[in-house]
Amino acid sequence: MDFSLILVLVTALTGVLWLLDSAIFAPRRRQALQDAQAQAQETLPDAQRKALLRQPGWADTSKSMFPVLLLVLLLRSFLYEPFQIPSGSMLPTLKIGDFILVNKYHYGLRLPVLNTRFVSNNDPQHGDVIVFRYPEDTSVNFIKRVVGVPGDLITYKDKVLYINGVPQQQELLAKLPPSRPEQLLLNETLDEVGHRIYRDLYRPVIDGEWRVPEGNYFVLGDNRDNSKDSRYWGFVPEELLVGKATAVWMHWDGLLSLPDFSDVRRIN
């Protein structure tokens, strides 16, 4: 179910119905009142006047809903949209059950549903956490960290990330659990900005090298050995960007009953 499409259609429908009532049916009701008063040759009682001017249910509902739906559509399409994290691919940065706000205008304004950019703004940078439509199934939303921008040569070797031949610094913070470690908590630095990642000690190494083409981005999950990302399915085209994750505004351990997206859930 494409909630954005449904929201656009319902907003358009209520707007059209409100317009039809205002342009056609409301003048007819006023004319009917004038005709009734002329026939009675006197001012009608308030109850009768109200009955003749009363909007039908569909018109009253449309008039009430359209401004609210339009405001929600504009906010979600061009400003901020809420999502929920249902998977652990971005641990330790984002936890399962985190509710995040995604800035929809940071990378430019896009038409709802079509996702076509009509106003340009910033481009994704190294270290940005982005929400995008999964290239292999655009009905699914993913969230990952940008590690490669157009023109970059990305190398992943022995669980170390190289950008244009330069290894990105990884500082050991902890071994988990301390008694019999299975996982490392590391601080990784991209363009002098640090973020935390997990590395499993016993998961197999996925080595590879990729040149990021123009208009595309290379992304990784912070939970490096438990993330389905660009190492498996390739690049994120610019036209599939949804926005930049900016804040965690709530956490709830119990997942809502929402569409089963693989990486990030839109909050309807």
Q: Which residues are catalytic?
A: 89, 144
Rounded Cα distance, 143 and 133, in Å: 9
Answer whether 212's CB lies under 8 Å from 150's CB. Answer: yes
Helix (H) or strand (E) holding 157: strand 153-157
Answer whether 249's CB lies under 8 Å from 128's CB. Answer: no
Q: Which amino acid is at 19?
A: L
Helix (H) or strand (E) holding 75: helix 57-78
Smallest Cα–Cα separation from 166: which of 178, 152, 179, 180? 152
